Structure 1
Amino acid sequence: MGLKGQHNQLLLGAMKEHKSVDMKWLSWNIRGIGMNEKLRKIKKVLVDRKIDLALFQETKKASFSRVNVKRLWPRDKMEFMVVDAEGRAGRLICVWDPNVFQLSDCCSNRHFILLAGTVLNSFDCVVLNVYAPNDPVRRGKLWKILVNLKASFTKPWCVYGDFNEIRSVDERVGCSRRERGISMKDFNDFIDRCELTELPMLGKKFTWCNAIDGNKWSKFDRLLLSPEWIERFKPKLWGLPRHIYDHCPLLLMEDVRDWGPKPFKFTNAWVLHPNFASFLERAWQESQLNGRACVILQRKLHALKLALKQWSKELFGNVSEKIKEIESQLYSLDLLAEDRPLVEEELKLKRETSSQLWRFGRMLEWSWLQKSRLEWNLKGDRNTKFFHVMANSRQNKNALNSILVKGLVVEDLGQVKNVVWAHFNRHFSEAWTIRPVLTSDSRVSDVVIGFSSWKHSFRRKRYGQRSKSAMEIKHQVPMALT
């Protein structure tokens, strides 16, 4: 093998290795790290979850050397950053695998560590480890500092940690403070001003509990992301068991599991195309099939689905590029009109092009509007990027990531599929072996055989409805599909 071939083989191997890396980040307010037993439990979580970046708050340790960090970190390669504690409170630690996160810049104070760098050698970003003070006045000052830093560190933000604040009253149970109303507003204003989105937490509702009594709950810990994170990755945030600790660990991971083919969905924006109705009719008529009507219906719907998917891919798959081409064409016509009056053909072309631009833009926005399931007036905004982020956020929130089976959480892809299949198989199975059959000549075949027993069984239903005769059933059967 030549040198060039060896180089290509090494490059391919490196690409495969890079692609196999899954992002797994952890944030945890550990409330002290001095005891060896606690250190071993934290390290076990890092090992079991294969964490490649960890952010800790409230270590409460006066000094933290590289040896101390190495006792905590299970990987061979390691980089870290530490800020000092305020007396017995505070102290932050960030530790990461340099193969996953490459640091380029940083800054910190007593309440946060900011790391600017690159994830997986491909995504420039800013990662913040935050521990907000309990005092609402000092907490408000921290929000102002972070807002000012946003102007200097413009790459997409990932803000992780213990914010010591809730966003709404339903994030707290069993305890309250008078100043929460004002401080909640300040916190939400900070999130809006930084243009961040909170990633929904899976598995738990609250992140903090008073470990002694267990009757007070709050959501102090959370993850805030810039929209670019949601566009680039498929992030999932899990609230892990807290066991005997006050705070539960938060695990951020990218869901790279293959759940199989996606179900077909009709897109409302399709009807905006002037040729949609004629295409739909032509695709339906083109499939000429023989057999029973129920089989014909199933096969025609399947053929229509494939035709619609191909049509949508060809038309909507490059809508953004078509919009750019149309805008460029309009710009050229505007420049031409500045030099001389446009002739009739050029005016006609400009009208047609403007109409196409409006139609394609509306198609694109309607498509994302449907995916995001937001009312148009909710934001008063036609920003497609906003709809894109909201659609991805809704998909992350509604995704089936695990199932609770007899008290045990099942996360394995194969096991989840088997459990779901068994559940619906039980609910949609029936003992009737003989049923009315839909045929192409609109007659019910073989329905008389066994119909008497089916009718008596139906009469015994608690709904008390009158059983339908064979003639009534016949009149309700649709005509043959040709």
Structure 2
Amino acid sequence: MSVILGGDFNMMVSDEEKIGSVCNSGSINTFVHFIQHNMLIDLPMEGSRFTWFRGGDSVEASKLDMFLVSTKMMSWFPNITQVALTRGLSDHKVVILKERIVSNKKRTFKWFSHWGTEPEYTKLVTSTIENGQFKGMGELLRSVKGVTKIWVNKFREGESGALKGIEKRMETLENELLTKGMNKAKSDELRSLKITLWAKHRREEREGSQIKGTMVTERRYEY
């Protein structure tokens, strides 16, 4: 039997899934019997221990929202799990099913011309070629590819930090301009930072997202 049940069951499978009030053990036992009798599985919950919250004079929280799936569904989709998202304005959290799919297929290695404008990289490639001048062309290209991958990972980490620094500085300048009024120097700096940020994002778009090793994708199902 292929079954997926999802929603607010208004009941838990154990007293550990509720805090702030007394649990009804009889109702819990009935719910557990229903799950076991129909050979359903309560998937592990990621993101939060509880899906319902109520504040006020006394705080209460429970795991009321969940997915129950049949064993046959688990045999078809062994990598599914349920995830509790942020609560927002509701007293319930949205719960989704997520399937993690791992493929051993590797992405094709790509070389981008703008890497050649980085002095550190050109120096690295030159050194690699000089050290391998007596190697065959195939082996030499593999050596260049290897050092390129290492350099690119470090370069992208640095670029990520630089982007955050630019965005933070832009936010500071915008706040200063809003609170202290027009300042030509700060306005010019903000304009320059926007141009730099745009250029960096454009370069990221050209490169696309490249993941080393396996590719991981997710499918999400929300009730």
- Shorter-chain TM-score bucket reads 0.3 to 0.5
| Structure with greater Cα Rg | 1
TM-score (norm 2): 0.48
TM-score by length of structure 1 reads 0.26
